[in-house]
A = this chain, B = another copy of it.
Amino acid sequence: MRIVLVGFGAVGKALVGMLEAKAEELYRAHGLSPRVVCVIDSGGAAVAGRGLSAAALLAAKTRGGGGGGSVAGIEAEGAVGLRGVEAERVIKDTAADVLVETTPTSVRDASRAMGHLRAAMGAGMHAVSVNKGPLAVAMPALVQLAAHNRVMLRYSGTVGAGTPVLATARTLAAGDRIVRVRGILNGTTNFILHRMQTAGESYQDALAEAVRLGYAETDPSADVDGIDTATKVVILANAVMKMGATIGDVRVSGIRDIERSRVREAAERGMSVKLIGEIDATVGARGGAGRALSVGPAEVERGGPMDVPRNVNAVEFTLEKSGTVTLVGRGAGGDETATAIVRDLVEIWHEGGGGR
C-alpha cells in the first residue's frame, strides 16, 4: 500500500515511526505492507518510490534549523526533495493508493486541506483525514465525492483518536438503533472543568493551569468556545446517523462564562458540569439536523461513567433496546491519532480486498 502523507507535525512523525515499528506485525496479522512514498509539508515534498524512512525525514526536518526545515531537504538514496511545490499537484502526480491528511485543523480556513482530499480522491486514491476542518464544513460533499470516485474516505482519528468512538458507534448501530449520543469529546475543556470542580479554581485560573501543563494551546478559542466539540458532533452525526450535517447545523455554546458557583452548586447536588456534545436522533428524524445537534455545558452524574477526570474523553450511546453503552478513554495525542490512522489503513486494506 503506497501512502502519500500531507503534514509532518506530531501526528505525521508518529505515524511514520509507527508504520516502521509495526511493519512486521502489520504484515503478519493483515498481509499489509504500507510504504510512505511521498511526504508533503509547508516547505515542499519528499518522494521515493521505494518508501521514505522516518530517520531520513526527521533529519531533513531538523536540518533546516530554527524550525525552518522541510522534508524537501531529504538526503537519502532513491529519495528526491522538491522545494516549494504545490501540494495538490504533487498529490495528483504521485502514484499512490491512499492519502493521509494530517495538517492542523482550522474550521475557519479548511480550504487547503479540502483541496488535498479532493485532489487525492479525484485521482482515485482512498483518503484518511485526521484534519477535522474539511469534515466540519463539507462532510456530506466529501462523502459524495468518495462515492462518486469509488474510493474510501476514513476519519476515525477525528473523534476520540485512540478511543474508537466511530467504530463503536457503527457496531452499535448495526444491531440496534442509537437514539441519543452524549459525548465529552474535548480534553482541554474537561481538564478546565475538572480543575474548577476539584481545586475550586475560577475559569481563568484553571485555563492558565491547562496552558501551563500543555493541555490547552495559548489560543484556546476552538476548545473553550465549543468549536472542536461541534466538529466532532458533526462527524459522528454524519458517520453513524447519516444526518448530512455541517457545523452550521450545531447549536454551540462554550465554557468561557462558566462561574465557579455553578460548578460548586452542581457538585453539591452530586453532579459534575461537563462540556457535552449531543446528538438527539429522535429530533433529527422530526425536524432536520439543526435542532438535533448541540454543544454546551451540561451535568452528568458524579461517579458515573461519564464523570471522567482531566483530559479523558467519554461517549454515552443510548440505544433503543440495549440501554446505554459508554466508552471511556484518551482523546487526542500524536501517538493516539497515529494509532487511529493505522486502524483506518488496515480497514481500507481489508475492505479494498487486500489480504484475501
Binding site for B on A (CB under 8 A): 18, 25, 30, 161-164, 167-168, 171-172, 174-177, 302-303, 305, 307-308, 314, 319, 321-330, 333, 335-336, 338-343, 346-347
Query: Which residues of the other chain, B, contact A302 by a CB distance below 8 angstroms?
Result: 303
A119 and B330 alpha carbons, distance in the complex (Å)? 44
Q: Do B319 and A323 touch (CB < 8 A)? A: no
Q: Which residue of B lies closest to A351 (CB)?
A: B350
Q: Do B343 and A321 touch (CB < 8 A)? A: no
Q: Which residue of B lies closest to A164 (CB)?
A: B171
Q: Which residue of B lies closest to A162 (CB)?
A: B322
Q: Do B328 and A305 touch (CB < 8 A)? A: yes
Given A171-B167, A174-B346, A175-B339, the answer on whether A162 and B327 have CB atoms closer than 8 Å is no
Q: Do A322 and B329 touch (CB < 8 A)? A: yes
Q: Do B321 and A335 touch (CB < 8 A)? A: yes
Given A174-B343, A339-B176, the answer on whether A327 and B330 have CB atoms closer than 8 Å is no
Distance in angstroms from A200 CB to nearest chain B CB is: 18
Q: Do A163 and B322 touch (CB < 8 A)? A: yes
Q: Do B330 and A162 touch (CB < 8 A)? A: no
State the oligomeric state as a number of copies: 2
Distance in angstroms from A6 CB to nearest chain B CB is: 20
Q: Do A326 and B323 touch (CB < 8 A)? A: no
Q: Pick 7 A–B contacts, CB within 8 A, sort by A.
A: A30-B174, A162-B176, A162-B322, A167-B167, A167-B168, A171-B171, A305-B326
Distance in angstroms from A81 CB to nearest chain B CB is: 30
Q: Do B303 and A347 touch (CB < 8 A)? A: no
Given A305-B308, A339-B175, A340-B175, the answer on whether A325 and B321 have CB atoms closer than 8 Å is no
Q: Give the residue of B176, B327, B330 whose beta carbon is less than 8 angstroms from that of A168.
A: B327
Q: Do A325 and B327 touch (CB < 8 A)? A: yes
Most chain B CB atoms below 10 A, which of A174, A324, A339, A347? A174
Query: Which residues of the other chain, B, contact A18 by a CB distance below 8 angstroms?
Result: 321
A176 and B340 alpha carbons, distance in the complex (Å)? 9
Q: Do A164 and B325 touch (CB < 8 A)? A: yes
Q: Do A325 and B174 touch (CB < 8 A)? A: no
Query: Which residues of the other chain, B, contact A176 by a CB distance below 8 angstroms?
Result: 162, 339, 342
Known A168-B168, A305-B326, A322-B330; further 17 A-B contacts with Cβ < 8 A: A161-B322, A164-B171, A168-B327, A174-B346, A174-B347, A175-B340, A175-B342, A176-B339, A305-B328, A321-B335, A321-B339, A323-B329, A324-B329, A325-B330, A326-B327, A326-B328, A328-B328
Query: Which residues of the other chain, B, contact A325 by a CB distance below 8 angstroms?
Result: 162-164, 327-330
A346 and B346 alpha carbons, distance in the complex (Å)? 21
Distance in angstroms from A143 CB to nearest chain B CB is: 16
A319 and B175 alpha carbons, distance in the complex (Å)? 27
